[in-house]
């Protein structure tokens, strides 16, 4: 579900001297609640990403002339490749490497990981068969781990959002925390995939995390016991003054059925207004985002635009009749709202059907497709970027709320929620 600023990796050493250097080099905008699934088990990949379950509906036009943002690539990068070089290296490893022979499957998977890694995109990764299965299980909403999404910001392994009632949330991890060590190992040269695999684990086992929190400019250490994480993506509550509070924590396999049931209850209650809480929602499937937005938008209204490398755009329209369009709606967002949740928030904001309250969203607006391979492995590739219906960029930029209300660490510790209070106030007028 995911991470997309590509600059040099800051110093992440954790001795006393380098800790002060790290504090100086962390960008100020990476605050406690500025964060992003691909999802992880107890840790999601990304970034909360809006994934496609397959790429069967992709147009061949997706793949055009090889260009960069600055124009055509240099000739040496586009000319015919001599693949004999690959086999030369392969044979030299098997003939000369001190610890030979090396398993051929290990070498093949390593080569494919390097191939995808050469793209320089942390959302595009090669997944071995075991990791592919774990990824698929995560999207079904059940896994073992700590219950947090991690992503990359300026190539820093960052907590996007801890899941509600998860071991990560109970331990005190917060959106925006930067992970500098996992079980005593520095994350300085660690890939997102490596971090995911090191943090996730069996129920009852412990993972040790050292994080840097910019809000208090300090390092913190946590011993977190992994547990089974069950995600129920939709929760409905009727607040005082007959205001419906609808919380969506992910856009996973169960979201469409659960959201439909919640909408049926809302219509029966005929509330004064609706609060759609997508704070710390890392995203999920594009289809689920379109499903949810369709309860406010009619079939002639767009939900999101998909822009490919060629500049071609595909529009995804609402699939519904807007059952909820006449209910005043406030959407709660923060720095942990990413990908699919940003799609829904942007669509309702552009259509003038909801006011956004909270903090700027994460800015995960790239599209990944998961391509399954013949041996059970897979490759996840970024193929496009999202724009709101009015053409606003989501990726990196994020979506600004109409009413900016910060939820401070002090508020959190005292059990206060000024963002929710503001939404209730707006709908009670």
Q: Which of 41-45, 296-300, 316-320, 396-400 shows the lowest per-residue confidence on average (mean pLDDT)?
A: 41-45
- Taking the C-alpha atoms of residue 363 and residue 36, their distance in angstroms, rounded to an integer, is 7
Among candidate residues 210, 360, 364, 380, the one labeled active-site is 364
364 is catalytic: yes
- Domain 231-428 belongs in CATH node 3.90.226.10: yes
What CA–CA distance (Å, rounded) separates 145 from 131? 14
CB 141: neighbour CB atoms within 10 A? 19
Structure confidence by residue, pLDDT tens digits, 183-211: 999 999 888 888 988 998 999 999 999 99
Can you name the residues that pair with 88 across neighbouring β-strands? Answer: none
Reported pTM: 0.62
Q: Which pLDDT tens digit goes with each residue over 111-127?
A: 999 999 999 888 899 99
* For range 247-260, the mean pLDDT: 92
Residue 31 predicted with pLDDT over 60: no
72 vs 80: CA distance, rounded Å: 16
Residue 367 and residue 383 in contact, taking contact as beta carbons nearer than 8 Å: yes
Mean pLDDT over 296-314 rounds to 95
The structure tokens 């905008």 sit at: 29
HSE (side-chain half, CA atoms, 13 Å) at 99: 2
Q: What is the DSSP letter of 398?
A: -
Q: How confident is the model at residue 352 (pLDDT cuts 50, 70, 90)?
A: very high
Find the helix or strand (DSSP H, E) in which 17 lies.
Answer: helix 16-25
In angstroms, the CA 153 to CA 334 distance is 16
Annotated catalytic residue 368: yes
For residue 181, what is the enclosing H or E element? strand 178-182
How far is Cα 278 from Cα 245, in angstroms, rounded to an integer? 11
The C-alpha atoms of residue 406 and residue 408 are separated, in whole angstroms, by 6
Q: Which of 318, 366, 368, 378 is catalytic?
A: 368
Name the catalytic one among 161, 247, 301, 339: 339
């Amino acid at each position: 579900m995911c991470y997309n600023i590509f600059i040099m990796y800051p110093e992440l050493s954790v001795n006393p001297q380098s800790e002060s250097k790290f504090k100086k080099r962390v960008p100020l905008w990476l605050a406690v609640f500025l964060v992003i699934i691909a999802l992880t088990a107890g840790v999601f990949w990304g970034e909360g990403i809006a994934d496609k379950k397959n790429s069967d509906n992709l147009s061949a036009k997706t793949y055009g002339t090889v260009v960069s943002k600055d124009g055509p690539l240099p000739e040496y990068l586009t000319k015919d490749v001599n693949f004999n070089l690959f086999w030369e290296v392969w044979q030299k490893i098997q003939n000369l490497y001190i610890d030979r022979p090396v398993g051929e499957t290990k070498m093949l998977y390593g080569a494919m990981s390097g191939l995808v890694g050469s793209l320089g995109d942390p959302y595009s990764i090669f997944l071995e068969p075991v990791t592919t299965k774990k990824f698929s299980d995560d999207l079904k909403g059940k896994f073992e781990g700590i219950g947090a999404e991690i992503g990359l910001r300026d190539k820093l392994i960052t907590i996007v959002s801890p899941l509600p009632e998860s071991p990560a949330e109970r331990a005190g991890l917060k959106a925006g925390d930067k992970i500098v060590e996992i079980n005593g190992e520095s994350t300085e040269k660690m890939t997102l995939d490596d971090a995911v695999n090191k943090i996730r684990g069996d129920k009852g086992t412990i993972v040790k995390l050292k994080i840097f929190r910019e809000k208090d400019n300090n390092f913190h250490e946590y011993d977190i016991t992994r547990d089974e994480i069950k995600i129920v993506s939709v929760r409905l509550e009727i607040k005082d003054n007959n205001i419906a509070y609808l919380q969506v924590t992910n856009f996973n396999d169960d979201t469409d059925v659960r959201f439909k049931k919640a909408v049926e209850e809302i219509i029966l209650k005929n509330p004064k207004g609706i609060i759609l809480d997508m704070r710390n929602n890392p995203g999920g499937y594009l289809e689920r985002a379109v499903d949810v937005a369709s309860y406010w938008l009619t079939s002639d209204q767009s939900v999101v635009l998909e822009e490919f490398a060629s500049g071609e755009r595909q529009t995804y329209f609402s699939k519904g009749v807007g059952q909820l369009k006449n209910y005043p709606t406030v959407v709660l967002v923060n720095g942990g709202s990413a990908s699919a949740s940003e799609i829904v928030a942007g669509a309702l904001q552009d259509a003038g059907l909801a006011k956004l309250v909270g903090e700027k969203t994460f800015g995960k607006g790239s599209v990944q497709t998961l391509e399954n391979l013949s041996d059970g492995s897979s490759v996840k590739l970024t193929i496009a970027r999202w724009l709101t219906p009015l053409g606003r960029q989501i990726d990196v930029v994020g979506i600004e709320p109409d009413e900016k209300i910060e939820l401070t660490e002090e508020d959190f510790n005292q059990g206060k929620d000024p963002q929710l209070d503001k939404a209730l106030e707006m709908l009670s007028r």
